[in-house]
Each structure stands twice: as C-alpha cells, then as structure tokens.
Amino acid sequence: MKTPTFIVEGSSEGNGPYDVPSELQGKAPISTTIVPGATQFSVLRPGSEVVAAAIIDNTEEQSNIRITAAAIASRLKASPPKPVK
C-alpha cells in the first residue's frame, strides 16, 4: 500500500476504533482520526469535506495532507446531520 489512506471514525462506536493490521503498521501511509462525540455515520459528510479540501489544497509533489479530528468536528458542529424520518 503506497497511497495515503485516511481512516476517519467517531468515538461513539460500539465496537471500538479500527486497528490497522499489524503487517501494515509502520509500512503503509495510513492515518487514523477519531472524532470525539461522533459516530461512524455522522463523520461521513464532514470527513469527506475535510479530506476533499485537503486534497485540493495539496500543491506539493509529495502528499502533505493532514486530517485532524478538530477540523472534522468543526464542520460537524457547523452543519449537524439531519434526523432520519
């Protein structure tokens, strides 16, 4: 695995955070971001928006993308998910 991979999860998961497989730890560009108070579903839209913005803003030849829980939480707070009817 050579492509930077971002795992974004909410802290309110019933089965705990995702564990990167041991054979990839330290060998693949994988970063895990846990968003406090969010669920695996509520982080989808704001997480995608933050990742998309970071990709667009990346002008370096090598990826320098950084995804933070604070950036995702800020977008989540600004536009919370709508309840399902």
Domain map of the chain by residue range?
A: 5-78
Question: Cβ distance 9 to 43 under 8 Å?
Answer: yes
pTM, entire model? 0.74
**C-alpha to C-alpha distances, 9 to 4, 12, 21, 30, nearest whole angstrom:** 17, 9, 16, 13
Residue of higher predicted confidence among 74 and 1: 74
Q: What is the pLDDT of residues 7-41, one digit of tens each?
A: 888 888 665 666 767 777 677 788 888 888 888 88
How far is Cα 65 from Cα 55, in angstroms, rounded to an integer? 7
